[in-house]
Structure 1
Amino acid sequence: MKRLGVKGRRLVLGLLGLALLAALLFGALRAGPLAPVRVTVARAEPARLAPALFGIGTVEARRSVLIGPTGAGRVQSVAVDVGERVRAGQLLAEMDPVDLEARVAALDAASARAASALQAAQAQLDDARARQALTAANWRRHAELAAQNFISPGALEARQQELASAQAAVGAAQANLAAARLDQQRLAAERAAVRQQRAHVQLLAPFDAVVVSREAEPGATVVAGQPVLRLIDPSSLWVKLRLDQGRSAGLAAGLPAQIVLRSDPEHPLPGQVARVEALSDSVTEERVAQVRFERLPATLSVGELAEVTLNLPETGLAPTVPNAAIRRQQGRSGVWQLDAEGLHFRPVRLGASSLEGRVQVLEGLPAGATVVVHSERALEAGSRTRVVAALAGAPL
């Protein structure tokens, strides 16, 4: 076999080098940094959106009360248990009255004594008035006799002094009677106060409710205001809903709602926004609303999580694009449009969005335009692109 000469070997090596260079160039153009950016695209189709707001909430009671004593004491008995339904005015628990019964008995006896003293003061007043009437009559008779000079002026002055003493006795009797009446009123007020305290040791239900917790057991000592039982009105249950502030546009009272409880995800419940709280949560950047049920389910429990969807009015006809197509360039929202001239960024003004992942474009993009949804790397104006059906990697 004839060996190649020097020129032949050089020719072979040159051909191999060209082939390698061509392969490298082909790889760079197909898969390297010079390759077109693979993208997925969508058309800006005119449509009417049915926007909605979505958030997570918890079931709470609008009417929830803590039942406890107005003074410190020891729990004597608790008559109800968790889960029981109670009626308004029903006895729930009772505190140890300590010495209240003895104090009521003492005040009853003092009130009876005050009544006797009042009768005695009234009798003294009647006696003083009778003496006053008698001395007044005697003084008039002696005044007539003195006018006819039948008695001396000294005798008339004695009768005058007797009349003044009788009038003073009437005043003293009236003062004693008033003091007896005031004493009787004081004892009656003290007795009413003690009886009120005695009544407060009985903890009664303020309205028809359900017992949700027992905070203290018999024998425990509680202070004033410390709860013994917690009650809720089962007819006042609603959902405390939290919504992202950035996606809460359109939130208002009266919006129809769809409530899905974690305990029954297969049966959505209709509801309505009852109230939008004026105070938002600045830490979590959420707005808070209260959503009531149109009809309460039988197995609803307080504290249960719920997914709530609020339906907003349908929008007008406008181009819509996927949410994933929206980009931020130099502080402006827009889309990468792909047309015959290539790839370029178009700032747009956005409108309402739907839970299906589409958003309205109010200005800046014509209907039917092709926009980039996902790309395998960051885009720049004029970038070479290759449209594919899907991207295997994480989209940008």
Structure 2
Amino acid sequence: MWSRIGLIAVLILIFGSLLAFSQLRHEPLKVSGYIEAEDIRLGSRVGGRIAEVLADEGDRVQKGQVLVRLEPFDLKEQLAAAKAERDDKQALLDKLNAGYRTEEVAQAKAKVDQLTSRLEKLVNGPRKQEIDAARAELRMASSQLELAQANFKREKEVFEKGAGTQERMDSVADLLREAESNSEVKQNNLSLLVEGTRKEEIAEARAALAEATEQYELMKSGYRKEEVAQAAAAVAAATANVAAIEKRIEELDIVAPSDSIVEALELEPGDLMPANAPMLTLIDPNKLWVRAYVPENHLNISLGQKLPITVDSYDQEFQGEITFIARNAEFTPNNVQTPEERSKQVYRIKVTLLDGLDKLRSGMAADVWLEPRK
């Protein structure tokens, strides 16, 4: 009996000692949170019908790899039309920069020379030789007229005596009229030559020469700077339009921006996707972190500080580095005047994992140890 009492007393002593030890032992401080990863939600700024799906959920993809391809619809035709318009604008700009052709300038110069000669001829008037020739022609015409008048008079006298014929009379009458007309023409020609060129003709010739000279100088100088600038602006606008359409065509291929893992992809060829809508989600496996919350009374931590991290799935520690500490408290109570209440304030921290990236996954519960574990 006494032995049983002694055993009970020993057990009570052992349990009491364990209880006292557990109360005296200090548990290292830790905060709990969840592992998160950087989600990349990909889409297209143009949208359209799905042509090909080139990846599956869980695939590891490389930077630049095409994951989804959209049908081009009429973008290729738009690009061809835009390039044709750009080439047309460029051709016009090249023409303006090159100026007029040599043959065109030479033709304009020849016209100036021709009109200059004509003006000089009009200003100088008829030459003396031309006037003398006109006087000689007038004298000859006058002689022919006198001869025709004498013949007509003689035939008339013969006809009136009854010895002539009507046919002969008509013939000499025609010759007389012809001689009179010819004499009048020669007289007028001489008068014009003696009077000289009319002022209106000289003024008209001067105006034509001035116009031709301006055209010649314009061709020598080339096109105006404003015209060239306008054409250059048109080329720039057409080039920008081509670039915009080419960018839209690039958006038909949804590519991975970095080495990552396909997390969510629910597309089939033929599906219609709106513009700027997420089509699939990628996860960057090389960047994981723990989101946790630290009470205000344990905020004696700093950026760059290394901390151990544990998860339920693995019986090992992983290393993390504090890369973010929030400046604003969360879950703040209404009354923060007493120390007890202030300890309820928490601040979000971000602890980036330095190892274990091949084992750990987004969504795992994790503990961040603010004090060394024993």
Class of the TM-score when normalised by the shorter of the 2 chains = 0.5 to 0.7
Q: Which residue of 1 aligns with 2:208?
A: 158
Structural mapping, 1:181-192, within 5 Å: 182-192=233-243
Q: How far did residue 123 of structure 1 move?
A: 8.1
Higher relative helix content = 2
Q: How far did residue 64 of structure 1 move?
A: 3.1
Describe the shift of the 1:279–1:221 C-alpha distance in structure 2 as closer, same or farther (beyond 3 A): farther
Q: Take 1:256 and 1:162, find their aligned partners in 2: how far apart are those partners?
A: 88
Length-normalised TM-score, structure 2: 0.58
Counterpart secondary structure, 1:234: strand
Q: Take 1:162 and 1:297, find their aligned partners in 2: how far apart are those partners?
A: 84
Describe the shift of the 1:75–1:162 C-alpha distance in structure 2 as closer, same or farther (beyond 3 A): same
Q: 1:294 aligns with which of 348, 354, 360?
A: 354
Q: Take 2:230 and 2:305, find their aligned partners in 1: how far apart are those partners?
A: 68
Describe the shift of the 1:255–1:169 C-alpha distance in structure 2 as closer, same or farther (beyond 3 A): closer
Higher relative strand content = 1
Q: Take 2:70 and 2:53, find their aligned partners in 1: how far apart are those partners?
A: 9
Q: Give yes or no for contact 2:96–2:222 (8 Å, CA) kept in 1.
A: no
Q: Give yes or no for contact 1:108–1:191 (8 Å, CA) kept in 2.
A: yes
Paired amino acid for 2:212: E
Q: Give yes or no for contact 1:259–1:270 (8 Å, CA) kept in 2.
A: yes
Q: 1:276 aligns with which of 317, 325, 349?
A: 325
Find out whether 1:88 has 2:85 as its counterpart.
no
Q: Take 2:363 and 2:356, find their aligned partners in 1: how far apart are those partners?
A: 15
Counterpart secondary structure, 1:206: coil
Q: Which residue of 2 aligns with 1:248?
A: 298
Counterpart secondary structure, 2:49: strand
Q: Take 2:305 and 2:98, find their aligned partners in 1: how far apart are those partners?
A: 77
- Which stretches in structure 2 are left out of the alignment for 5+ residues? 1-18, 126-196, 333-343
Q: Give yes or no for contact 2:33–2:290 (8 Å, CA) kept in 1.
A: yes
Q: How far did residue 166 of structure 1 move?
A: 4.1
Q: Take 1:136 and 1:186, find their aligned partners in 2: how far apart are those partners?
A: 40
Q: How far did residue 271 of structure 1 move?
A: 2.5
Q: How far did residue 52 of structure 1 move?
A: 4.5
Q: How far did residue 107 of structure 1 move?
A: 2.6
Paired amino acid for 2:78: R
Q: How far did residue 185 of structure 1 move?
A: 3.8
Q: Take 1:122 and 1:191, find their aligned partners in 2: how far apart are those partners?
A: 23
Q: 1:53 aligns with which of 15, 19, 29?
A: 29
Counterpart secondary structure, 2:29: strand
> What's the CA shift string for 1:155-197, capped at 9, x where partnerless?
4443223212445677896577666555444333222211111
Q: Take 1:202 and 1:308, find their aligned partners in 2: how far apart are those partners?
A: 41
Q: Take 2:208 and 2:296, find their aligned partners in 1: how far apart are those partners?
A: 103
Structural mapping, 1:1-396, within 5 Å: 52-61=28-37, 63-114=38-89, 125-126=100-101, 128-135=104-111, 150=124, 154=203, 155-167=205-217, 182-214=233-265, 216-243=267-294, 245-264=295-314, 266-282=315-331, 285-311=345-371
Q: How far did residue 291 of structure 1 move?
A: 1.2
Paired amino acid for 1:201: L
Paired amino acid for 2:62: R
Q: Take 1:203 and 1:186, find their aligned partners in 2: how far apart are those partners?
A: 28
Q: Take 1:247 and 1:162, find their aligned partners in 2: how far apart are those partners?
A: 96
Q: How far did residue 116 of structure 1 move?
A: 5.5
Counterpart secondary structure, 1:302: coil
Greater Cα radius of gyration, structure 1 or 2: 2
Higher relative contact order (CA 8 A, sep 6+): 2
Counterpart secondary structure, 2:348: strand
Describe the shift of the 1:81–1:108 C-alpha distance in structure 2 as closer, same or farther (beyond 3 A): same
Paired amino acid for 1:65: I
Q: Take 2:331 and 2:300, find their aligned partners in 1: how far apart are those partners?
A: 19
Counterpart secondary structure, 1:83: coil
Q: How far did residue 236 of structure 1 move?
A: 1.3
Q: How far did residue 199 of structure 1 move?
A: 0.7
> What's the CA shift string for 1:222-268, capped at 9, x where partnerless?
3332111222222211111123x25433132233322111221x212
Describe the shift of the 1:307–1:67 C-alpha distance in structure 2 as closer, same or farther (beyond 3 A): same
Q: Give yes or no for contact 2:99–2:222 (8 Å, CA) kept in 1.
A: no
Counterpart secondary structure, 2:46: coil
Aligned residues: 265
Describe the shift of the 1:228–1:76 C-alpha distance in structure 2 as closer, same or farther (beyond 3 A): same
Describe the shift of the 1:60–1:162 C-alpha distance in structure 2 as closer, same or farther (beyond 3 A): same
Q: Give yes or no for contact 2:320–2:352 (8 Å, CA) kept in 1.
A: yes
